Amino acid sequence: MPSLKSRMLKLALRRIAGLVPTLLVIITLSFAIVRLAPGGPFDQEQALSAPVRANLERLYGLDRPLAVQYVRYVRGLLHGDFGPSLRQRDFMVSELIGQGLPLSATLGLAAILLAVLLGIPAGVAAALWRNRAADLSISTVAAFCIALPSFVTGPLLALLFGLHLHWLPVAGWERAAPRYFVLPVLTLALPVAAYLARLTRASLLEVLRTAYVRSARARGLGSPRILWRHALRPALLPVVSYLGPAVAFVVTGSLVVETVFGLPGTGRFLVQGAIDRDYPLVMGMIVVYGALTLMLNLIADLLYGWLDPGARHE
């Protein structure tokens, strides 16, 4: 039989092979939607004459057929060229993305990590103390965090910890000052942690009722050993499956959170680019966010394959 290492390598290669066509579909659909939307990048210019508008469109290649523009854009992507910004004309799109992406990526990864560190232990505790006060408290808090959207949770946390208690800043950003990250990361992490807690609780309760766990109890194994060696790994399979959608939630939610807390991330470029019909900037943001989401989904798939031998064989 092939070794675990070779099976994981085959699984990784299959998943990676599927990333390219998926990303190409995202690029194609996004390109069509952005270009066919009403309005244009020069509609907000003041009193542009027809010759000036025609010269600008010719300069940026917007006078060519849509298919030609698409092929030209994809060819540029293959060389790492996102094109120039149509509204911020002193910058290339790659320069604008490079300004905000490190902060946005740090915010998203910190939120996912915090959600895992909070949600999984909370779900395990709720399952082990089922129908007790701890279980009811965790379930209530989780339901509350899921019900509130991030644009409500963020201002509430800012009011409590920033304006009332004066513990943390409510907006802005300073380098080498982690306190500016606390409220945005917490705002993004709370709903994901709540989902993880509920999934972990339900999955662990189901595993604890299985025959092999009951057999382990009958052989006299202690509860901690049963949990760590027999129950927790299969119970985490639904949790790992949820990490893919969780990444997408954090990526989209970070746009709102960056706006609420005034962070200079990439979210402001996507929003402003959409308002200005800055085609290259919007497409660049979509490509970067799509690629990041696919890569993090790939990591979740590999974790799932490591936890579930059946997925590796498939």
Query: Comparing C-alpha atoms, which of 37, 34, 25 is closest to residue 83?
Result: 34
Q: Where is 60: in which H helix or E strand?
A: none
- Residue that the structure tokens 């066509």 belong to: 21
Contact between 275 and 212 under an 8 Å Cβ cutoff? The reply is no
**HSE-up of residue 197 (Cα within 13 Å, Cβ side):** 29
DSSP state of 37: S
Radius of gyration of the chain (CA): 24
Contact between 180 and 172 under an 8 Å Cβ cutoff? The reply is yes
Q: What is the CATH number of domain 99-264?
A: 1.10.3720.10
Residue spans of the domains in the chain: they are 99-264
Contact between 179 and 168 under an 8 Å Cβ cutoff? The reply is yes
pLDDT digits (tens), the chain, 314 positions: 456 567 667 767 777 777 888 888 999 998 888 888 777 676 665 566 677 777 777 877 777 888 888 999 899 888 888 888 887 777 888 888 888 888 888 888 889 999 999 999 999 889 888 888 888 999 899 998 888 888 788 888 888 888 888 888 887 777 767 888 889 999 999 999 999 999 999 888 888 777 767 776 666 666 666 676 667 777 888 888 787 778 777 876 777 888 888 888 887 778 778 877 888 888 888 888 888 888 877 877 777 766 665 544 44
CA end-to-end distance (rounded Å), the chain: 14
| Predicted local confidence at residue 129, as pLDDT | 87
Contact between 99 and 264 under an 8 Å Cβ cutoff? The reply is yes
The structure's pTM equals: 0.77
Q: What are the start-end ranges of the H helices in the chain?
A: 4-36, 50-59, 66-78, 93-128, 133-147, 150-157, 179-208, 211-218, 223-226, 232-235, 237-260, 267-276, 279-307, 309-313
Between CA 278 and CA 24 the distance in angstroms is: 21
| Predicted local confidence at residue 311, as pLDDT | 47
Q: Can you say whether residue 26 is alpha, beta or left, with left for phi > 0 and alpha for psi between -120 and 50 degrees?
A: alpha
| Predicted local confidence at residue 217, as pLDDT | 66
| Predicted local confidence at residue 40, as pLDDT | 67
| Predicted local confidence at residue 58, as pLDDT | 80
